Amino acid sequence: MNAGIPHAPWLKAPEAQALLAALEAARPGGSRFVGGCVRNTLMGREIDDIDIATQLTPEQVTDVATKVGFAAHPTGIEHGTVTVVVNHKPYEVTTLRRDVSTDGRRATVAFTESWEEDAQRRDFRMNALYADASGAIHDPTGAGLDDVRAGRVIFIGDAHERIKEDYLRILRFFRFNAWYARGPLDPQGLHACADLAAGLDALSAERIWKEAKKLLAAPDPRAAWEAMNAIEVRARALPELANHTRLDALMRLEADLLMPADAMTRVAAALAEQESARALGRRLKLSNEERDRLVAALGGDEKIVSYMSLKEMRRAIYRLGNQAFRDRVMLAWAGAGGEKAQAWRALIAHGQMWTPPKLPLSGDEVMAAGVPAGPKVGEVLREVEAWWIDADFPDDKLSVIERLKAVAQGIG
């Protein structure tokens, strides 16, 4: 085997080396890095978290780690995972496993000492690559390295069988294609996903939403998204995200931007209107923050058009906030079919540069001007604010106080 990742910074990091050395001392040749960190390093991509697979039992891992002074947390002890923290860096150490039984949602596992068995229960060949402390690669399926080189996502073994073990793998198939595929989707995998799409109904809201976000966070998920739409997987798992035209327009115009849209803007673009955002939020249990962002992105009173003046733009940003303004502009641009790129781009750029100021006036100051404590204070504040917005946010305390006096007299 000549492929290796000996120069990967995360692998050479003293923390990773110290942990592997401790595990290896307890069982030579018994622990390897696995999954995303190995795959992404081979593909020249950034890595997310670092997973380690080991022949040691979770108790042994805990024991070894604690003896050398590393904190060990039983973060997933029922499926064999201990998170070891070395100098503030977390490593997920999981004992090699094989499936004993599966029900399409969760598996009952048994520990094993066999790398082959551990590899067999993973989803894709490119996800079953292991690296030892020196960076040498182990490829138990014999095809993971080829897949990584070719940029293709292929199930380990029979795609139908693998999906029936865990239907989330349908969504993972599209997610990994969105991120790592260089050519068309694997036809056998695609067929299996189409045949078994009904199994998605049994998945928990949290797992679907997490996968959907990761999929739509890929730099260019268009091919994977189209493939999902073509076989009813999208309609089944994410029925609310049906506005294909606007999402597609958004992803096409993003190519033009230095800062592409994030997953949430894309989700918003795929929704029809605010009510569908609320429906999605309820069904997939989005956080309030996520739901509010989608609802805001999908509209409100402020009208967003490509020919807005800078003053109108500032007013809109003040009312909406920078994030919602940007989302609204992106969606309006996409909705307009990507036309007037120059004007929309300028709007986005200005929108990023301008931070809305705070009204330079407090309730105390309003009362000092003779307004009695109570609802009148808010009334005056709002009226001065309306004048201030209309005057394009003057950074001029004196004229604000002038205005306050006039308003306070009028009201009193």
Query: Residue 250 Cβ, how far from ligand ATP at the closest point, in Å?
Result: 23
Q: Which stretch binds Mg ion (CB under 5 A): 42-50, 52-60, 100-108, 178-186?
A: 42-50
In angstroms, the CA 297 to CA 311 distance is 21
105 touches 167 (CB < 8 A): yes
Query: Residue 49 Cβ, how far from Mg ion at the closest point, in Å?
Result: 5
For residue 140, state whether it binds Mg ion (rule: CB under 5 A). no
Q: Which stretch binds ligand ATP (CB under 6 A): 23-31, 45-53, 69-77, 269-277?
A: 45-53
**CA-CA-CA-CA torsion sign (266, 213, 225, 251):** positive
Binding mask 158-177 for ligand ATP (x = CB under 6 A): --------x-xx--x-----
Query: Residue 279 Cβ, how far from ligand ATP at the closest point, in Å?
Result: 26
Identify what 125 binds: ligand ATP, Mg ion, none; CB under 5 to 8 Å per kind.
Answer: none
Query: Residue 33 Cβ, how far from ligand ATP at the closest point, in Å?
Result: 10
For residue 189, state whether it binds ligand ATP (rule: CB under 6 A). no
For residue 35, state whether it binds ligand ATP (rule: CB under 6 A). yes
Query: Residue 231 Cβ, how far from ligand ATP at the closest point, in Å?
Result: 20
Q: Which residues contact 404 (CB under 8 A, 6 or more apart)?
A: 361, 365, 366, 369, 380, 384
Q: In Å, what is the CA distance from 359 to each residue of 11, 331, 383, 400?
A: 51, 29, 12, 9
In angstroms, the CA 16 to CA 29 distance is 15
In angstroms, the CA 138 to CA 132 distance is 8
The vertex-323 CA angle with 357 and 383, nearest 5°, equals 40
Q: Which residue number has the CB closest to ligand ATP?
A: 36
From 208, 272, 281, 196, select the one nearest 238 (Cα to Cα): 208
Tokens of 310: 């800078």
For residue 127, state whether it binds ligand ATP (rule: CB under 6 A). yes
Considering only residues 44 to 103 of the shown chain, the ones binding Mg ion according to CB under 5 A are 49
For residue 11, state whether it binds ligand ATP (rule: CB under 6 A). no
Q: Which of 30, 36, 221, 281 binds Mg ion (CB under 5 A)?
A: 36
Tokens of 103: 């029900």
Give contact residues for ligand ATP (rule: CB under 6 A). 35-36, 48-49, 51, 122-123, 127-128, 166, 168-169, 172
